[in-house]
Amino acid sequence: MPTVRANEMQLYFEVQGNPDDPALLLVAGHGAQLLWWHPELVAAFVDRGFFVIRLDNRDVGLSTHLDGAPVPNVWEVALGDHDDVAYRIEDMADDAAGLLEALGVGRAHVLGISLGGMVVQSLAIRHPDAVASLTSVMSTPAPLEIGRPTDEVIERWLEPSATTRDGYVQRTLDNAQRNGSRALGIDAAWLADYAGREYDRSFDPDGVDRQLAAVVASTDRRPGLRGVVAPTLVVHGAIDPVITLSGGEATAEAVPGARLVVVDQMGHDLPRSIWPALVDDVALLSGR
């Protein structure tokens, strides 16, 4: 099993492509394992000349789970009670930096989605020498202040979590319909298969909650982003209800010279129809 010890975590990772090509680190979102990255999208990046690295963030998948650590009440964390917060986004960024170092990658192009976008933003701030370019997708630098979810999304967060495999798959499909890019197409068959495989591989609701607490407890990244010098691309859906458009706008505004791409009819997902443009944009950003 490919793992490395980094930042006191055992991190599971997978690679694809030629190690002599420029590295591209892909960081998935809240609760998502590296399975979230569709094989065809990964292959498209490889075809454009990237050595693609994917990881399971701490508390999901086959990386270290902080079993026994407190499971914070996210609403209390939002009100300022951080006593039970086990870690923050900054710690997850240090995980990613440790992975790159362990793999002998001098500098990597980094792309993160949602929570993963927050991680790569923090990576660019805390470890600038490790970041060749930064792509932040459907994310925000300050989730309590900018890009806040719609009331409907917050109400759904209060619903009981799924506990069975069938329930988990159905919840994944429901969220895709509610939050995703319906007009651009939702691949329900692939999502159902992915969700089932994810459940079978690692089901840890407590770890997912600790990740969400890390998001809520982390500091506003805008001051740090103003010092980022890596070429930066920000991609956001025009109708994203989970992290609304102002989150992407604030990210792009904070990073000097950042390019903002707003995708019409895109929600909180990555529809297949935008993959070619995304791959082209990341390749252009990296000089490929």
Residue-wise pLDDT for 147-177, tens only, equals 999 999 988 887 888 999 999 999 999 999 9
Q: How confident is the model over 178-226, as pLDDT tens digits?
A: 999 999 999 999 999 999 999 999 999 999 999 999 999 999 999 999 9
Q: Give the integer Cα–Cα distance in Å for 59 and 64.
A: 6
What is the fold of 3-286?
Answer: Rossmann fold (3.40.50)
pTM of the predicted structure, to 2 decimals? 0.97
Q: Give the integer Cα–Cα distance in Å for 225 and 217.
A: 18
Segments of the chain with pLDDT less than 50: none
| pLDDT score at 106 | 87
| pLDDT score at 156 | 86
Domain locations in the chain?
3-286
Q: Are 11 and 98 in contact (CB under 8 A)?
A: yes
Q: In sequence order, what are the residues at sequence separation of 6 or more whose Cβ sits closer than 8 angstroms to the Cβ of residue 100?
A: 23, 25, 53, 108, 130
| pLDDT score at 18 | 97
Query: Considering just the CA atoms, what is the radius of gyration of the chain in Å?
Result: 17
